[in-house]
């Protein structure tokens, strides 16, 4: 099966099984999503969602968070991975939002990446989720699932995977395709023990087909 055919089958399958696919982070405005995505680095969305209600109640705006100290923020996010670094980033990005962007989250992705703690993936997540920009954020789930299915080939970096996925999916589907791959990786195509027995795409999944050939050869 060609890579082009795999993209076609991927779109057909997930369009039927996951017609609505959205971020699992809880937020009510762009500032809250920005903070939540920064916190979610190497941390589960579930843990972030347990943490952010109190944080957002105390610091509902960039202006409020800009007045906080790193120690103030740390007290709210200490159960999150790397709380010291993230507290530092949140205070600094809040201050920069106030000083350079009028307290508003910029819609320009390059401008977003000038904020402390915000890289390409985080900027692309906001672009795709908030504004429907035709970009493909690549996190660990997307990187893994794209390679396993066979949508990406020999992609050794998130950027390489991003480029291949953006070339393979129709541009208008990129925002939802990002969620398809994340959710498939989160609940089915797990990192250590993928649930191939419960997966609906094994017929054309490169990983599964390769694994099946190896098992047959061993038997």
Contacts of 77 (CB under 8 A, 6+ apart): 39, 51, 55, 83, 86, 87, 90
HSE-CB for 198 with a 13 A CA cutoff: 9
For 109-156, how does the pLDDT look when each residue is reduced to its tens digit (9 = 90+)?
Answer: 999 999 999 999 999 999 999 999 999 999 999 999 999 999 999 999
Which of these is catalytic: 4, 121, 133, 216? 121
Residue 212 has pLDDT above 90, yes or no: no
Which of these is catalytic: 133, 139, 193, 206? 139
Q: Answer for the pair 194, 147: CB distance below 8 angstroms, yes or no.
A: no
Domains identified in the chain and CATH numbers: 3-21+136-218 (1.10.1670.10), 30-131 (1.10.340.30)
Maximum CA extent, the chain: 66
The pTM of the full predicted model, rounded to 2 decimals, is 0.89
For 49-70, how does the pLDDT look when each residue is reduced to its tens digit (9 = 90+)?
Answer: 999 999 999 999 999 999 999 9
Give me the sign of the Cα torsion angle 54, 58, 63, 67: negative
121 has catalytic annotation? yes
45 has catalytic annotation? no
For 23-32, how does the pLDDT look when each residue is reduced to its tens digit (9 = 90+)?
Answer: 999 999 999 9
Estimate the crossing angle of helix 140-149 against helix 158-168, to 10 degrees.
60
CA distances in angstroms from 181 to 7, 18, 21, 22, 217, listed in the order given: 12, 10, 10, 11, 30
């Amino acid at each position: 099966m060609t890579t082009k055919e795999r993209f076609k089958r991927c779109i057909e399958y997930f369009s039927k099984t996951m017609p609505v696919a959205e971020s699992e982070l809880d937020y009510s405005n762009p500032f809250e999503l920005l903070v939540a995505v920064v916190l979610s680095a190497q941390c589960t969305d579930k843990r972030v969602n347990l943490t952010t209600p109190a944080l957002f109640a105390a610091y509902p705006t960039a202006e409020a968070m800009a007045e906080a100290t790193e120690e103030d923020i740390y007290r709210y996010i200490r159960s999150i991975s790397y709380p010291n670094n993230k507290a530092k980033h949140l205070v600094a990005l809040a201050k920069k939002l106030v000083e350079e962007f009028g307290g508003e989250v910029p819609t320009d992705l390059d401008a977003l990446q000038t904020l402390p703690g915000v890289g390409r993936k985080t900027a692309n997540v906001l672009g795709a989720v908030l504004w429907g920009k035709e970009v493909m954020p690549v996190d660990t789930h997307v990187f893994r699932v794209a390679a396993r299915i066979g949508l990406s080939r020999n992609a050794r970096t998130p950027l390489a995977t991003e480029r291949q996925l953006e070339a393979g999916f129709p541009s208008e589907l990129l925002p939802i395709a990002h969620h398809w791959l994340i959710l498939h990786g989160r609940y089915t195509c797990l990192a250590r023990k993928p649930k191939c027995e419960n997966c609906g795409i094994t017929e054309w999944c490169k990983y599964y087909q390769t694994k099946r050939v190896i098992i047959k050869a061993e038997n």
